Amino acid sequence: MTDGTGDSGDSVMHYLFSRYAFDHPQNFLDHWAKPLFVLVSAPFAQFGFTGMKLFNCTVALLTAVFVFRVAASLGIRPAWVAPLLLFFSVEYAVLIFSGLTEPLFGLGLTLGVYCALSGRRLCSALVISFLPFVRSEGWIIMGVFALFFVWKKHWKMLPVLLAGHLVYTLAGFLSGKEILWVFIQNPYANGSSPYGSGSLLHYAGLLPYVLGVPVCLLFCFGLIRLIYLLFSGGHKRVALFTEELLLVYGCFFALFFAHSLFWWLGLFNSAGLSRVLLSVVPLAALIAARGFEGLSARLLRNDKAAVALRSLLLVYVMIFPFTPNPAAIDISRDLSRMPDQRLADELGAEIKARYTGRKHYYEHNYLSMALDIDPFDKALQEGLKRVREPGAVPPGSLIIWDDWYAPVQAGIMLEELRRDTAAYTEVWNKSREGRQLVLFTKN
């Protein structure tokens, strides 16, 4: 098992919410942490970050099972290619070793699609109804499934799509929250993003890095096949074509276009992160499997040529993540602790040796792991913004500044702390590969 965490921010914070959920039951209903994710991952998180990785690896294996079943239901041949393409999608393979929510969302989405295709519409609607409590994109997927149920005239399934909201509304209300807390406390409900904005084609450009070049090429072949069937009338001869169009292509592109718009317009705290596409990589694997299927003897007019091409493609798919190129896996970068995390571990050892029994103020989530402290215990740790509140920081406290989370999340610049020599004394300062941590004590 690798010693990386996927990233130093959200991956670590999701782990911390789950790790300390039994000590702080309010974590089970935290909107940012995602209540259903915390509920199912918390038992694994009690075994440390390795337990969290085992959770997401288990989720990925289950996802592969349902990707195979969806492929078989749709008549994709061979169906086993779809889960293989899933596991060799570069960023998916890397980030199953994290504490992120995207893999669980992908499992729920794939399970919902499988249930819908196999006639288990009640199960499908129930599963999809809980997706917003794994990731906020669940609301987008609910809309696609609502359209599907309307098309199938399964009117009774429409209210079932609200089941997850009813369950968590009631759970929150009984725990003392407002009756509409699932809407009022949504951390992404604000119309702007502190991370700025970018190109409308940003996510299109990221696809080769998320899927890897060979899987991305097969994905494009799958799209070409879809367009050909639509314009040639061939879709009329394909079983479950409309179901596949709505549930596989529809869900993928609904989320893909939504994130493209959010980043372009600077909405809903969008940071333009490539990993948000992992939620629909299982569907991308199915589309790519269609592309692989299309490279058949009929297309090439030669059985031997088709077999040879398919074999070469599969070999390319499996070796690509380990080749030296920007879109492949870099073990030292992607699966190991990052420079800021190694710095945090070094600082954590220093604090444990010389500054025990102090209260800590910082923004960098990984410091909670490096220091082995409960970040939800306000007697032990609070955010860096507190240093601007008169009298809020007691003498002897430790203030830890980092070069990313402190300025971006708290708006605290290093010079602001250094200028106030009457209040703070700088006692530790190290940099590593462009990352920096600075420790101050409160006078």
Edge-to-edge order in the sheet of strand 360-361: 381-382, 360-361, 398-402, 435-442, 424-432
Q: Report which of 432, 396, 431, 397 is spatially closest to residue 414, judged by C-alpha positions.
A: 431
Task: Of 98-107, 176-185, 350-359, give the lowest mean pLDDT range.
Answer: 176-185
Mean pLDDT of 324-350: 90
- What is the C-alpha separation between 285 and 430, in angstroms, rounded? 43
Q: What is the dihedral of CA 256, 258, 264, 269, to 10 degrees?
A: -110
Q: Is the pLDDT of residue 297 over 60?
A: no
Q: Is the pLDDT of residue 129 over 60?
A: yes
Q: Could you give phi then psi for residue 141, rounded to 5 degrees? A: -65, -35
Q: Report which of 15, 112, 90 is spatially closest to residue 322, judged by C-alpha positions.
A: 90
> Across-strand partners of 437?
402, 430
Contact between 128 and 158 (Cβ < 8 Å): no
Mean pLDDT of 53-70: 98
Q: Could you give phi then psi for residue 436, rounded to 5 degrees? A: -140, 140
Q: What is the dihedral of CA 253, 256, 257, 260, to 10 degrees?
A: -170
- What is the C-alpha separation between 86 and 132, in angstroms, rounded? 23
Q: Report which of 381, 398, 353 is spatially closest to residue 13, judged by C-alpha positions.
A: 381
Give me the pLDDT at residue 364, please. Answer: 96
- What is the C-alpha separation between 286 and 304, in angstroms, rounded? 25
One-letter amino acid identity for 440?
F
- What is the C-alpha separation between 373 and 123, in angstroms, rounded? 40
Query: Cis omega (within 30 of 0) on the bond before 394?
Result: no
DSSP output for 298-325? HHHT-HHHHHHHHHHHHHHHHHGGGSSS
Task: Of 182-196, 255-269, 424-438, give the lowest mean pLDDT range.
Answer: 182-196
Give me the pLDDT at residue 188, please. Answer: 78
Give me the pLDDT at residue 358, please. Answer: 93
Q: Report which of 10, 48, 29 is spatially closest to residue 195, judged by C-alpha positions.
A: 10
Give me the pLDDT at residue 300, please. Answer: 62
Strands 435-442 and 398-402: antiparallel
- What is the C-alpha separation between 179 and 425, in angstroms, rounded? 47
Contact between 11 and 100 (Cβ < 8 Å): yes
What Cα–Cα distance (Å) separates residue 64 from each residue in 82, 84, 98?
8, 8, 17
Q: How confident is the model at residue 299 (pLDDT cuts 50, 70, 90)?
A: low
The residue behind tokens 């070793």 is 97
DSSP output for 129-171? HTGGGT-TTHHHHHHHHHHHHHHTT-TTHHHHTTHHHHHHHHH
Q: How confident is the model at residue 286 (pLDDT cuts 50, 70, 90)?
A: very high
Strands 360-361 and 398-402: parallel
- What is the C-alpha separation between 355 and 441, in angstroms, rounded? 9
What Cα–Cα distance (Å) separates residue 368 from each residue in 16, 341, 380?
8, 11, 10
Cβ count near 176 (within 10 Å):
9
> Across-strand partners of 360?
381, 398
Task: Of 157-166, 190-199, 249-258, 312-321, give the lowest mean pLDDT range.
Answer: 190-199
Q: Is the pLDDT of residue 367 over 80?
A: yes
Contact between 247 and 113 (Cβ < 8 Å): yes
Give me the pLDDT at residue 327, please. Answer: 87
What confidence tens digit (pLDDT) does each residue in 220-241 have? 999 999 998 888 877 777 778 8
Q: Is the pLDDT of residue 47 over 90?
A: yes
Q: Could you give phi then psi for residue 138, rounded to 5 degrees? A: -55, -30
What Cα–Cα distance (Å) separates residue 141 from each residue in 102, 110, 128, 393?
14, 11, 7, 45
Longest Cα–Cα distance in the chain: 81
Mean pLDDT of 371-390: 94
One-letter amino acid identity for 109?
L
Task: Of 85-89, 185-189, 426-430, give the lowest mean pLDDT range.
Answer: 185-189
Task: Of 73-87, 193-207, 369-383, 387-401, give the lowest mean pLDDT range.
Answer: 193-207
Task: Of 24-28, 136-140, 147-151, 265-269, give the lowest mean pLDDT range.
Answer: 265-269
**How many CA atoms are closer than 13 Å to the CA of 352, on its beta-carbon side?**
13
Q: Report which of 68, 73, 63 is spatially closest to residue 241, judged by C-alpha positions.
A: 73
Q: Is the pLDDT of residue 127 over 80?
A: yes
Output the average pLDDT for the chain.
Answer: 92
Considering the chain, what percentage of its residues have pLDDT values greater than 70? 98
What confidence tens digit (pLDDT) does each residue in 156-209 have? 999 999 999 999 999 999 998 899 999 888 887 766 677 788 899 999 999 999
Mean pLDDT of 303-321: 86
